[in-house]
Amino acid sequence: MGHRRKAREYAMQALYMYETVRTPVRELISLQWVDKEIPEDIRDFAITLIEGTIDHLDFIDDLIKRYSKNWKFERINPVDKSILRISIYALLYLDSIPHAVTIDEGIELGKIYGSENSGQFINGILDAIRVHELQTR
């Protein structure tokens, strides 16, 4: 598994904790809740994803609401929501990562950690954001 994938997994877990039990950001970015030593490059990328996503959370959530047709935001499973949030942050703010890579990674995380249809759901929203939001940037 690639270093960035592992960092995305940690970020997804952190966003899940933020969503479900409102774990403070300081605790999330400390990554003390991870039971093993984390290489510095993984730690740095995970922290970038966690902080950046939470810093832009209102805007990101507005995009999810806009593009999740036929789904109420409140009904989106917290795992899918966490994956969408970090993926949208990366699409919009991490120009060094190709959009296709970000979308593929979001889909894969959805397939691994989400429900049966998470990969398709995540793909649909991320692709719509890529087409409609990134064309104007």
Question: Rg (Cα) of the chain, in Å, rounded?
Answer: 14
CATH number at 62 reads: 1.10.940.10
Query: Is the pLDDT reported for residue 35 higher than 80?
Result: no
Contacts of 53 (CB under 8 A, 6+ apart): 11, 15, 60, 85, 86, 88, 89
Query: Is the pLDDT reported for residue 1 higher than 60?
Result: no
Alpha-carbon distance of 19 to 122, in angstroms, equals: 17
**The domain containing residue 53 runs over which residues?**
3-133
* Total number of domains constituting the chain: 1
Mean pLDDT rounded to a whole number for the chain = 92
